[in-house]
């Protein structure tokens, strides 16, 4: 069984930053990602609020720069899935039945899109139901789209989808969106974007692909069918922490609870990024989390060696 100073689970912005700081501390570090380096943030085309890039930076470019920094430090990177961990021995089990061990672990496993869990959602996923505008937007050229949610992600993706679609309809359960003021201003200025507020989607309908959604007015209680060619869902995220169940302290939603040093309920195991319980989920503070987690792991290892 190969041994390392540090194993980082997940290579989104938090994991990449942790790897950068760990590499600069000369820790023998293994970085593991089950998808692609960068994680789910690559679903967003551009990041506009990352400091130092007026006008924004293409997400792929920012992640590419982070990856290059990590690789310069000769951090070992593998593509695999972690199935479970042993908190006492600091071992991880990979999908091929391989085990790795380290002095310390950092969990940066991120989060995945939350589902509506309504009839038709699973049936039409990939056939009109999507959770990624950047991935699927071009398939809806001159089409009529519904997009569910009310936060910043909805605003950003609605504007992106308006490049392709003939019409974008934002469906939100409250009378006001939760998106930032500047994003709401842009939505209001876009003539392709409409709003269906105080409403929820209760069913997605179609034959071979999506043809309509059932919308319920939460104030009046009545429902109606709304014809559309696609449904994009942005109602938040669920942490990718199922492999840690019963191992670390989490909240009811599965987000890992840490202290200010990113320390979890288990000594020598730290967590950072979107899998961690916190108040703001943005690239900028995911990177901050990663830096703190790596520094804490370094100090933990150094103290063990004394």
Residues annotated as catalytic are: 132, 135-136
**Structural Rg of the chain based on CA atoms:** 21
CB atoms within 10 A of CB 128: 26
Report the distance separating Cα 65 and Cα 47, nearest Å: 14
Nearest Cα residue to 47 out of 235, 293, 285: 285
| φ and ψ at residue 98, rounded to 5 degrees | -90, 145
| φ and ψ at residue 188, rounded to 5 degrees | -65, -30
Alpha-helix runs per DSSP H in the chain: 13-24, 59-72, 133-136, 152-161, 181-189, 283-305
| H-helix or E-strand spanning residue 81 | none
CB 16 within 8 A of CB 290: yes
Report the distance separating Cα 78 and Cα 284, nearest Å: 24
Nearest Cα residue to 203 out of 117, 116, 123, 120: 120
- Encoding tokens for residue 47? 């990041």
């Amino acid at each position: 069984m190969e041994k390392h100073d540090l194993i980082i689970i997940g290579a989104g912005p938090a994991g990449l930053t942790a790897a950068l700081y760990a590499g600069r501390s000369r820790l023998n570090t293994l970085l593991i990602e089950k998808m692609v380096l960068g994680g789910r943030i690559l679903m967003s085309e551009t990041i506009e609020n990352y400091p130092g890039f007026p006008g924004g930076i293409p997400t792929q470019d920012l992640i590419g720069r982070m990856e290059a920094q990590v690789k310069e430090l000769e951090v070992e990177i593998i593509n695999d899935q972690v199935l479970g961990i042993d908190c006492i021995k600091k071992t991880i089990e990979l999908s091929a039945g391989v085990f790795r061990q380290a002095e310390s672990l950092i969990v940066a496993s991120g989060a995945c899109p939350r589902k509506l869990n309504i009839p038709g959602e699973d049936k039409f996923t990939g056939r009109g139901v999507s959770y990624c505008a950047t991935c699927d937007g071009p398939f809806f050229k001159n089409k009529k789209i519904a997009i569910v949610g009310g936060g910043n992600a909805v605003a950003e993706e609605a504007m992106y989808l308006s490049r392709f679609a003939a019409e974008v309809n934002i469906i939100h359960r409250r009378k006001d969106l939760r998106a930032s003021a500047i994003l709401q201003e842009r939505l209001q200025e876009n003539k392709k974007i409409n709003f269906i507020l105080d409403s929820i989607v209760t069913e997605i309908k179609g034959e071979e692909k999506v043809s309509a959604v059932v919308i319920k007015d939460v104030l009046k209680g009545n429902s109606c069918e709304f014809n559309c060619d696609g449904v994009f869902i942005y109602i938040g995220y669920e942490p990718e922490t199922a492999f840690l169940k019963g191992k670390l302290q989490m909240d009811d939603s599965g987000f890992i609870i840490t202290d200010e040093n990113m320390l979890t309920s288990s000594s020598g195991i730290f967590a950072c990024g979107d899998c961690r319980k916190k108040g703001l989920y943005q690239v900028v503070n995911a990177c901050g989390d990663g830096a703190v987690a790596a520094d804490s792991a370094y100090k933990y290892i150094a103290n063990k060696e004394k």
